[in-house]
Structures are given as structure tokens and as C-alpha cells.
Structure 1
Amino acid sequence: MSGSSGQVKGWCPGALRPMRSGDGLIVRVRLTGGDLTPERAAALAEAARRFGNGLVDLTSRANLQMRGVSDDTLQPLLDRLAELGLLDASAAAEQVRNVIANPLTGLDPSAPIDIQPLIRALELRLIGNERFHILPAKFGFLLDGGGVLSLDGIEADIALRAEDDGHFRLEAGGETLGWVRVEEALEAALGVAERFLALRQPDERRMRDMVERLPLPSPGGVDHSSWNGLGSTRSVGVGWEAEGVEVPTPPRPSADPPPPGESRMRHLAGPHAAGFFTAAAPFGRLDAGQLEGLAAIAARHGATLRLTPWRSILLAPLAVDVTAEVSSLGLVVDPGDPRLAIAACPGSPSCLSGEAPAQADAARLAPVLAGFVEKGASVHVSGCAKGCARRAPASITLVGQAGRYGIAFDADSKAPSEAEPMSLGELTAFLAKRLQHFPEKLGDFSIKKMR
């Protein structure tokens, strides 16, 4: 089995299509449903140490990637991944398997829908139809069965989100299209993907770029535009390839959901009454020894490991508190740790585009940023303007510029800095002095209020 030369840069890496970075090749291992047995976790830790630099990143799509792989060690690593059953048949098949699912799939009796059989089924449909292989590299699907760890706030190009009555809500580019029964869910989602491929322009790479142009028909000529109260909502559009699919009666709206991120934050670190434990990796980075340690803890207590889209690892099911064991590995077990509210990319020198050591500086800034985090602020520390660690705007965004940082508020990494770039020391002093001016509740905010 032949590996890539590793010359791809600035793309979503895979195992068969790694990306070259400042510390070597990045090899991403895609896991079905984020599921990782203790045995595989231990084997991946050993492989990261043997074939890379021993550093492992957790991604926002519940996968992991090994860093520091060399041209000489790439093929032996691929051989090992193949032995573990973690290597796809082709780079195209690997790339199309962008499916995010609930971390507690199959382990949460409160979930309205058990999506476990649907996850692999969707992957196989994507792999088996070569037409889907031309979907853009970052185009992704989401399966949310609901329950304790729903995926509210997690974005995807096409999403199926469980409702309490047992139907899925079908979304495209964040817009609700309608509701489908479980047995029709995959056809509906793949039908939307077909429409995307048929209608997209060359520069349209995500569903949000063209969702407003989707000509989704109303099955049976019935107008369901009031289903979600948005007024301009399209109907579900099931049956583009299979005729005669019945559109279910829409479920009644549930109570107002928590603000985006609020339910997520409750599950970021520590033990949980639902029988799982969350081990959070600061900024999504852990080393081989920590992954190996988590595998050993899971094995001792009869648990499995589940990677989450919040760059953490769940141990489940668990009937005991493993806080002391996980804490001894140097991982975050306190949900109040300010690092959990900070998104930070590796930055320089790990990234060729990095203009500042973002993760290292984010750790140094965490004590002063804690006061902002306690008031509900989100923080993004980016090594450059690309903003790989967070696409959405953050309350405070710091962007590396030639070893210094620009700063912007309620903005993403591409926004212009609202002050002259500052050194880390200047930035620390600036933030510490201006914390008292930060509003008690988040809202409109500007650099003027910081002065």
C-alpha cells in the first residue's frame, strides 16, 4: 500500500493524504463515530511515539491526528493503521467520510433515536457512490441522536437531528428543511448532497454558500413552509430519487434550547451522573503518554473511549469516579478551567503559516483571560489570520502578526485589529488592566470600552 508524498499543504489532512506542517507531516485518523477501543487507543499512542513526534491533536470532527511524521516513517505508519483496521481503501474514500455523531451513541438510553447503525451506513453510502467522492474536502454530515450529549451548536453542511417524537429534523447549511422518519433519513440527507453537487458553482464549497438556491419541492404539493416558524422555510424535499415518500406531521416545538455552547460547556471536563467521564485536552493537544494512560484507565474499568467534537475524550460507561487517575495524566478535569473556553491552533513553529506560538501563548494568557471567561466570553488565539481553530466569531480574538498579536472583539480571525499589535507582555498587561471595563453580560463590545 503506497502512501502520499506528503506535499499537500493547507488542506484537510488524512492518512493517505497527509499535510506537511512546520513539525513534519500531519496524519489524520478518521474514526467512525469517534469510537476508539482501549486496545486501539494504546496502539495509536505507540504509533504516534514511534512514527511521529509523540503529539496527538483532537479535531473538531471527533478524529485524531498524529504530528511530526517524516517521509521515512509515513509508510510504516500506514502499514500499522491498516493492521488496526483504521486505513481506508483510497484517499477519496477517506476524504468523504466526514460524519460527526453523538459521542454517547449506543450508550445513552435517553436518546430519542439510536443512530449507531446509521453512522456506518452513511459512511458506506458515501464511500460506495463515487459521485460523492467529489464533494469538497471540508463538506461534512452530522447525525445527532439527541439525549444527554446532543450536538446543539455543532455545525455541518447536512445534519439530521433527532426530535423527541422519533423523527429527524433535516438541516442544510444550518437551515431547517423539514422532518423525516428514521427509515428515510439517509436517503433525505444524500438527496440534499446530490442537489448540492448538481447546483454548486466552482467557488461554492460549503452548503451555506448556496442553500438559498436549493429548489426543494414540496412532496405532494403540500405547503409545509410553516413547520419551523421561519416564514421562508422550504419543505423537506424527500423523494428526489425515491417517489412516494410520506412527509410526517411536524413535531411540536420544544422548549427554548440553551444558548449555543452552554450545554456543551457543561460536559467538557470531569465525571457526570449519566455514567461517563470527560477528559479534556487543553487546546485539543495531548501526547502519546496521555493517550496511553487514558487507554489503560478505560481498560481497567471496562469502558471504551469516545472522541468528541469539543476536542475531548469520553470514557464510558463508568460506575466509578476516575478524576484522580485522569488528573495524574495532566489532562483537564475541572469544567471551570479557563483553557476550555479558549480555542487555539498550534501556531509557530508547528504550523508553516503561524506567525506566533498560539497554543503556548494561550496557556500563558489563560490566567488573565480567566476573568473574561467567567463572564461568559469566548476566546480565540490564532497563529495567523486563517483561524483554523475556530471559524465563528469570538468575544476576544487574538491573531498572530510577526510574533505579536492583533486584537478584535466579537469578530473572527479575519477581522482587522482594533489596536496596534502587541507583544505577549503588553497584551497581558492590557487585558489585566481593562478587565474591569468588560461588560457583565456579553453584547456589543469594542476597543473603545477597553480603553
Structure 2
Amino acid sequence: MPSGDGLLIRAKAVGSRMSAAQAREIARIADGCGNGLIDLSQRAQLQLRGISEATIAEALRRLDAIGMLAPSADAERVTNVIASPLAGLAAGAFDANAMAVELAAELQRDAAMRALPPKFLFLLDDGGALSLADVEADIRIEAIANGAVAIHIADVPDRAVFAAVNDALDVALRLARAFIELRDRHANSFRRVRTLVEALGADALPRAAGLVMRVSREARAPARWAHIFGAQRRGAVAFAGVGAPFGRWRAEELAAVADFAEGEGTGELRLTPWRALLIVTPDEDNARRVVSRAQDHDLITSADDKRLAVIACPGAPECPQAVAETRAHVMDLAPLAQMIGGADGVGLHLSGCAKGCARQSASPITLLACAEGFDLIENGGADGAPRFRSLTFEAVLRELSARASGRAQ
């Protein structure tokens, strides 16, 4: 995929599991074939940046050798699946990683699925220790109390199709095929399930799939950063949660984390949609040592880190659609963002364009880059109505300072 800093390629993970050896080789590929930068996306995927035309073939060959390359461009485009970070380790109603592999195989086998939009996302939440309740997806399979699953569609949180675990993928795929059919009937006007629901109503998609949604009274609390970062134990599983600012890892940082996973851990990492890596360890003492070593690299190891309060896309020049830089001043804004943080701790979303790729949900403050500075949107996303337009950076600082101190009018 072309970007402003060269080609971008994904190290495609199916499910949440990655070995230390795979992580180390990804770091080497990024360093030798790209610009040494790796993004961990909100879809729990690693993206290598700055790949050149001269090195793309070698990079793809090496990713294929470690099992982190989709079999084709079509398969890469439609295989978008997030699985529970601790799948297979912590107790869950089903193995979300095994289900992810099965779902990916079906998406790649069925040629009709190639009509899905590139960002169409499936989510598999096994009901285990780290809930994915705060992660948006088009179709989500969630474990419920009686050992069955609820299959939800985007923007309809209070109703679901209920099924046995063994039937979950069949239901999800029926919904996906119905989405393709409805999208085709409406001249491909629906980019995601959310836009279909907005246009046709909540019942249109399940009805087209021959399914019925019923009231869903179960709602899991989302995982909080306090449950993710630092040394943790969830049931029988110990791990260290480590992040990089804005999900942007340097090759040497990822290589160091791979070393931590082998030296103090089980040799296994887990990918998360919170832009953090989990290093699985035998016990909490090992996890604490990982945290100490990660701090030497200035990585994020605490839920209190102010850098977590800001979400920012790469911006210009890396993204050709971005109007301006987004990360030049983020460290100046992070303390203020932390003070006005919402329920999930995020206080500020900086977006280079109205697509708002880095965060689809609302933030207390969203700054949208424009030719004259930034538009400021309150309690909305990048596509929301601005409260102020074309603010300079100094004006942005004043507005955020006022809100942080409770003086906003």
C-alpha cells in the first residue's frame, strides 16, 4: 500500500498470538527493508513503514517465511479479524484464536467475500479476562453466560442473534453475505454495517440473512488500561503489558520486546487493539522484570502514562490524505488531554482528515487538521460538527487549558 513515506505492508496475524521469533524477524525486516518504523494498529496488526520498491519483494518473502503474509492481496484485504488477546490462555467460552483461523480460511475460500469493503471487521470475544467491549466492529461474536454466543452487528448493542458456539461462524458469515447483497442493491453506498443500519434500520441486515435479533441484556465492561499495562495476573495467566506512543514502534524497541519475551517470558507475545503488546510470563515476578526493562526504552508500562490520553493518526506527510502534521505537538497537548480524558482515558483525538481512521468513536476533544490550523470538535469524532474552526496551535492550547481547568464556556 503506498503512503507518504514509501510502501506500507502488514505482517498479517490471524488471531492475537505472535511468537518472539516472529516479532524479532519483523523488526529486522522493518530495519533492513523499510525505515525502521512499525505501527501496531487498533486492529491489532503490525504495519511496516517506508518499504521501497527495491526491497518490497524481499520483505514479502521474509514475512511469508514466518507465516505472517496473507496468501493473496484479496485475502489480505478481507481477512480482518480481532480475537481476544488472551485466547487459549485464560478461561473463555471458546478459543477465539482457533475460531479466527477458521473464519479467515472461510473468508479466503469464498470468492464472494472479496466484495466486502476493505475495513469490514469481525471481532471474536471469548468472554475471558480482557473484554473487547470497547472495540468497534461490523460483526462481533461474544460469549454469554450460558455457554452460547451473541452475534451483534455494529450500532445495535442492545440486540443480537443468539446461537451455539459451533454455529457462530455460520451466523456471522450469513450476515456478511447479506451485507454484500444489500450493498450491491444500493450501488455500494454502504461503507460499513454502521452506515447500512443508519440508512435501512437495525432489522434490515438480519432480515436479509434470514435471522432474527432478540433483546440482549448482557453487556461486559470494557478492559481498562489499568488491566492491560504493567505487570498483570489474570487468573492463571501472568503478563506484562507494554506500549509505544501512538502505537508507533521502532525496530529496536520491538526487537527488545522479543528479547524480553524469550528472557523473562514464555516466548509468546499477544497483540491487542489497544496498541499494546502483552508479553506472557511464567509469573508476576518475571512480568515486573519485563516492565523494568521496558521502562529503560521509554515504553509505556503504566495506565497513568499521559501519552495514552492522545490518539493521533500518522498525519502528513506519511498519509497522502492528511491535510497536515498531527504528531508535531502531541507531547505538549498530552498533559491537558489526560486532564480532560473520557471514560476510557482518551481526552484528545488528532486527525489529519475527516475519515478519522485512528479512532471511530467520540472523544472529549477531536482536532481535525485543516489548511489554516485545526477545527475543534467537542464530544464527537472527526466527522462531527466543529465548535471552533481554523484554530492556531496557540488557540488550541488555550481551549484545552480552559477545559482542563473547568473554565470552558
TM-score of the aligned structures, taking structure 1 as reference length: 0.81
- What's the CA shift for 1:434? 4.3
Q: For 1:26-425, what aligned pairs fall within 5 Å after superposition?
A: 26-109=8-91, 111-175=92-156, 176-200=159-183, 201=186, 202-211=188-197, 212=201, 213-214=204-205, 216=207, 227-228=215-216, 253-254=217-218, 257-258=220-221, 263-274=223-234, 275-301=238-264, 302-319=266-283, 320=286, 321=288, 322-373=290-341, 378-402=347-371, 404-425=373-394
Counterpart CA distance in 2 for 1:368 and 1:152 is 26
Output one character per residue of 1:342-401: Cα deviation in whole Å (capped at 9) or x when no partner: 210111222223333212322221123222128866321112332121112211111112
CA distance in 2, matches of 1:225, 1:81: 41
Q: Write the distance in 1 (CA, Å) between the matches of 2:253 and 2:313.
A: 19
2:311, 2:346 within 8 Å by CA — same for their partners in 1? Answer: no
Query: Could you tell me whether the CA contact under 8 Å between 1:112 and 1:165 is conserved in 2?
Result: no
CA contact (8 A) 1:136 1:205 kept: yes
Contact kept in structure 1, 2:36 and 2:250, CA below 8 Å: yes
Any idea what the Cα deviations from partners look like across 1:293-350, whole Å, max 9, x if unmatched?
Answer: 0000001122411110111111114412121111112210110112213210111222
* Contact 1:355 1:403 (8 Å CA) reproduced: no
Structure with the greater alpha carbon radius of gyration: 1
Gaps of 5+ in 2: none
Q: CA deviation at 1:421?
A: 2.4
Retained in 2: the 8 A contact 1:36–1:306?
Answer: yes
Structure 1 residue 32 displacement after superposition? 1.1
Change (3 A) 1:112 1:81: same
For residues 214 and 107 of structure 1, what CA distance do their matches in structure 2 show? 34
Larger displacement relative to structure 2 (356-365 or 46-55): 356-365
- Structure 1: which 5+ residue stretches go unaligned? 1-17, 229-252, 439-449
Structure 1 residues 368 and 198: alpha-carbon distance in aligned structure 2, compared to 1, 3 A threshold: closer
Q: Deviations over 1:50-79 (max 9, x none)?
A: 111001101111101011111111111111
* Residue pair 1:156, 1:174 contacting (<8 A) in 2 also: no
Return the offset for 1:210. Answer: 2.7
**What is the distance in 1 between the residues matched to 2:382 and 2:299?**
27
1:60-100 Cα shifts (integer Å, max 9, x gaps): 11101011111111111111112222222211111121111
Secondary structure (helix, strand or coil) at the match of 2:387 reads coil
Whole-angstrom CA distance in 2 between matches of 1:282 and 1:185: 36
SS of structure 2 residue aligned to 1:359: coil
Letter in 2 for 1:135: L
Q: Distance in 1 between matches of 2:37 and 2:291?
A: 23
Kept in 2, the 8 Å contact 1:377–1:396? The answer is no
Partner of 1:244 in structure 2?
Answer: none
Shift of 1:273: 2.1
Deviation at 1:40, TM superposition (A): 0.7
Name the SS for the 2:124 alignment partner: strand
How far the C-alpha of 1:433 sits from its partner, in A, is: 4.0
Q: Distance in 2 between matches of 1:349 and 1:50?
A: 22
**Higher strand fraction (1 or 2):** 2
> Contact 1:338–1:370 at 8 Å: present in 2 too?
yes
Q: Aligned partners of 1:430, 1:172: CA distance in 2, in Å?
A: 37
Three-state SS of the structure 2 residue aligned to 1:339 is: helix
The residue type equivalent to 1:147 in the other structure is: G
Change (3 A) 1:355 1:361: farther
Task: Give the total of aligned pairs.
Answer: 390
Give me the whole-angstrom Cα distance separating, in 1, the residues matched to 2:70 and 2:389: 47
